[in-house]
C-alpha cells in the first residue's frame, strides 16, 4: 500500500478538522479567525458522544473556533482582529475561561499534536512482541500503561495494536494506537521506571509509526505543552508539531461528593 506524503497527510488533516470544526479546509490557512456552530457528525474523532460546547484549533496562523451558539456573541467580538495563535496564550485563555464559567464549563488542557514528516529507522538491542485486536484485552486495567492503551475497550475509538519491549520475560515498555477517527491512529507510549532514559520509548514509537504508515493509515501523536520528554520522543521518531487544540468540559461539582 502506498505511503502518504507529508503533503497528503496535511490535506487529510485539513479534511478531518474541517469536519470536526464545521468549516471548509481552506479556513485554516486564512488570516482572519473563523467561528462556527458546533455540531456532532460521523467520521470525526470521538472522545464523547455529543457536540463540543467549545473547541479551538490553530495550525500556527489563524484560529478556528467551533462553539455552542450561546457563546457566539462573546467569541465573535473577542476573536476579531486577534492573531489566532495568540488566542492560546494564558492571558487570552483566562478571558475565555471567565466566559465559559458563566455556562458552568471550564477549559481543559491544551493538546499539542504531531504528524509524521520523515521515515526513521530505530535500532535497540531488545526483543519486541506485537499484539492485535482481542489480544490487547489482557492489558486492559493494567495501571502501568495509562498512555499506550485505553483502560477498557472503547468502541468509538478502539485500540488496534501495541508493540511491547521485553528484557527477558520482563516488560520494559509499550507503545499502542487507538483509531480515533477512520484511518487516524493516535499513538501513546509508556516506559516502566527502571527502563527510562534508554531510548526505549522512541524505539517503540518508531516501530509503531512505521507499521501504521505501511498499513496506509495516518499516525498522530499528542502531548502537553511542558512534557518535553514526550516532545523529544515525538521529534526523534520523525514527527513534527502540526496543530494545537483546546476545548472545554463541564465543571464538576466536587461538593456533591463530600459528606
Mean pLDDT of 86-107: 97
> Which of the residue ranges 42-56, 171-185, 243-257 would you say has the lowest mean pLDDT?
243-257
| Residues 74 and 173 grouped into a single domain | no
Q: Tell whether the model's pLDDT for residue 253 goes beyond 70.
A: no
Whether residue 235 is contained in a domain is answered as: no
| Residues 90 and 48 grouped into a single domain | yes
**Cα 99 from Cα 108, distance rounded (Å):** 14
Range of the structural domain that residue 13 is part of: 6-115+246-254
| Residues 53 and 111 grouped into a single domain | yes
Mean pLDDT of 225-252: 96
Residues 6 or more apart whose Cβ sits within 8 Å of residue 11? 25
Mean pLDDT of 109-134: 94
**Cα 43 from Cα 163, distance rounded (Å):** 26
| Residues 41 and 108 grouped into a single domain | yes
Mean pLDDT of 92-118: 97
Nearest Cα residue to 177 out of 190, 196, 158: 158
With cut-offs at 50, 70 and 90, classify the pLDDT of residue 4: confident
Q: Tell whether the model's pLDDT for residue 256 goes beyond 50.
A: no
Which domain CATH number covers 168?
3.40.630.30
Q: Tell whether the model's pLDDT for residue 8 goes beyond 80.
A: yes
| Residues 185 and 87 grouped into a single domain | no
Whether residue 124 is contained in a domain is answered as: yes
What percentage of the chain carries pLDDT values higher than 70? 97
Q: What is the pLDDT of residue 255?
A: 37
| Residues 131 and 215 grouped into a single domain | yes
Angstrom distances, CA of residue 37 to CA of 52, 60, 68, 72: 10, 22, 6, 8
| Residues 199 and 154 grouped into a single domain | yes
Q: Tell whether the model's pLDDT for residue 6 goes beyond 90.
A: no
| Residues 60 and 80 grouped into a single domain | yes
| Residues 63 and 89 grouped into a single domain | yes
Angstrom distances, CA of residue 196 to CA of 167, 171, 202: 13, 12, 11
Whether residue 138 is contained in a domain is answered as: yes
| Residues 71 and 29 grouped into a single domain | yes
Whether residue 176 is contained in a domain is answered as: yes
Residue 239, H or E segment: strand 239-250
Whether residue 229 is contained in a domain is answered as: no
> Which of the residue ranges 41-45, 121-125, 138-142, 177-181 would you say has the lowest mean pLDDT?
121-125
| Residues 35 and 55 grouped into a single domain | yes
With cut-offs at 50, 70 and 90, classify the pLDDT of residue 258: very low
Q: What is the pLDDT of residue 1?
A: 60
| Residues 100 and 131 grouped into a single domain | no
Q: Tell whether the model's pLDDT for residue 64 goes beyond 80.
A: yes
Selected residue with higher pLDDT from 119 and 1:
119
Nearest Cα residue to 115 out of 67, 64, 59, 169: 59
Three-state DSSP class for 197?
coil
Q: How many domains does the chain have?
A: 2
Amino acid at each position: 500500500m502506498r505511503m502518504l506524503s507529508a503533503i497528503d497527510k496535511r490535506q487529510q488533516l485539513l479534511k478531518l478538522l474541517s469536519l470536526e470544526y464545521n468549516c471548509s479546509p481552506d479556513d485554516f490557512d486564512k488570516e482572519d479567525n473563523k467561528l462556527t456552530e458546533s455540531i456532532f457528525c460521523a467520521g470525526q474523532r470521538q472522545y464523547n458522544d455529543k457536540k463540543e460546547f467549545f473547541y479551538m484549533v490553530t495550525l500556527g496562523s489563524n484560529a478556528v473556533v467551533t462553539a455552542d451558539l450561546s457563546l457566539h456573541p462573546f467569541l465573535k467580538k473577542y476573536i476579531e482582529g486577534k492573531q489566532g495563535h495568540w488566542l492560546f496564550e494564558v492571558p487570552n485563555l483566562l478571558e475565555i475561561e471567565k466566559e465559559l464559567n458563566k455556562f458552568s464549563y471550564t477549559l481543559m488542557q491544551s493538546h499539542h499534536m504531531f504528524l509524521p514528516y520523515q521515515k526513521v529507522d530505530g535500532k535497540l538491542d531488545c526483543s519486541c512482541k506485537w499484539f492485535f485486536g482481542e489480544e490487547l484485552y489482557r492489558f486492559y486495567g493494567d495501571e502501568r500503561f495509562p498512555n499506550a492503551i485505553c483502560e477498557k475497550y472503547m468502541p468509538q475509538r478502539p485500540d488496534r495494536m501495541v508493540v511491547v519491549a521485553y528484557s527477558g520475560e520482563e516488560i520494559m515498555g509499550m507503545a499502542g494506537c487507538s483509531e480515533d477517527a477512520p484511518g487516524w491512529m493516535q499513538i501513546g507510549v509508556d516506559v516502566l521506571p527502571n527502563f527510562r532514559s534508554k531510548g526505549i520509548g522512541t524505539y517503540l514509537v518508531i516501530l509503531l509509526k512505521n507499521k501504521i504508515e505501511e498499513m496506509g493509515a495516518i499516525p498522530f501523536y499528542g502531548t502537553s505543552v511542558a512534557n518535553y520528554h514526550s516532545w523529544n520522543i515525538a521529534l526523534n521518531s520523525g514527527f513534527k508539531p502540526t496543530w494545537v487544540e483546546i476545548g472545554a468540559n463541564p465543571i464538576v461539582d466536587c461538593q456533591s461528593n463530600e459528606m
